[in-house]
Amino acid sequence: MPLAILYRDDRFAVVNKPAGLMVHDSKLARGETEFAADALRAQFGGPIHLVHRLDRATSGCLLVAFDRDAASALGKAVMSREMGKDYLAVCRGWPEPPHGLIDHPLDGGPGKPDKRPAVTAYRTLATGELPLPCAGFPTARFSLLLCSPQTGRFRQIRRHLKHLRHPLVGDTSHGDGQRNRMFRSELGVHRMLLHAWRLRFTHPFTGEGIVAHAPLDADFHRVLERFGWTQAVQRLAH
């Protein structure tokens, strides 16, 4: 199926990538045969240039350019931190303080051991509990966060939330297996709950302010409804 288009003109587009779809072929593909880049070339009927990346398990806003000049201009906006990226995330526990900056250097991933500065702003939008004992506590606590990475390191939000000791629900690499199993059995949610919800930037050729929002999928909506968090996201949108 074609990917939903959130914004498009003759130079670039923002699309809504579903969770579970790899953006492009790489060493991490592990036998995958379907990639967003290939699907978008077919969908748009021509070459595309990836301006940034999303993990396979992450859904939401993906920016692609149709020519090298647009890709270069948009890439410079990303590197200079002129492009705002806001993610919705569901994590274990209730972070204290409920908002702040995670300033923790990260390496570049497999084969790239050198650590570089990495900063993520986070804000708790809502909290909730499941009436199930977990890890010695009578209930299991969870939070809905808005995370805004100020840098672009490998799996930055996932690794920063682990460093904060509030890992993402559904993250099988950096998360909490017990809570992940709880969401699978109690809510039927098998995906990692990280969504690139909003992309904000200035059009490099017209100066127009561009804001793209990616709708949440059914699994994410199920979580919002179970915890009563739907209005928190609606308020954020306005």
pLDDT (tens, 9 = 90+) of the chain, 238 residues, equals 799 999 999 999 999 999 999 998 765 556 667 899 999 999 999 999 999 999 999 999 999 999 999 999 999 999 888 999 999 999 999 999 999 999 999 999 888 999 999 999 999 999 999 999 988 889 999 999 999 999 999 999 999 999 999 999 999 999 999 999 999 999 999 999 999 999 999 999 999 999 999 999 999 999 999 999 999 999 998 7
pLDDT the model gives residue 136: 87
Both tokens of 18, joined, read: 């579903």
Q: For residue 127, give the nearest of 227, 17, 8 by alpha carbon.
A: 227
Total structural domains within the chain: 1
Eight-state DSSP code of residue 53 = -
pLDDT the model gives residue 141: 97
107 has catalytic annotation: no
Eight-state DSSP code of residue 137 = B
Are 59 and 87 contacting, i.e. CB atoms less than 8 angstroms apart? Answer: no
Catalytic annotation, pick one of 10, 25, 38, 55: 55
In angstroms, what is the C-alpha Rg of the chain?
Answer: 18
pLDDT the model gives residue 28: 58
Domain that holds residue 82: 4-237
pLDDT the model gives residue 29: 53
From residue 193, alpha-carbon distances to 30, 70, 162 in Å are 22, 31, 14
Task: Tell me the three state secondary structure of residue 49.
Answer: strand
Identify the residue whose tokens are 């900056």. Answer: 101
Strand pairing of 84-92 and 59-65?
Answer: unpaired
pLDDT the model gives residue 1: 79
- From the number of C-beta atoms within 10 Å of its C-beta (0-12, 13-18, 19+), residue 19 rates as buried
pLDDT the model gives residue 184: 96
Whether omega for the bond prior to residue 97 falls within 30 degrees of 0, making it cis, is yes
Which CATH number does the domain housing residue 232 bear?
3.30.2350.10
pLDDT the model gives residue 215: 97
Strand pairing of 49-50 and 12-17?
Answer: unpaired
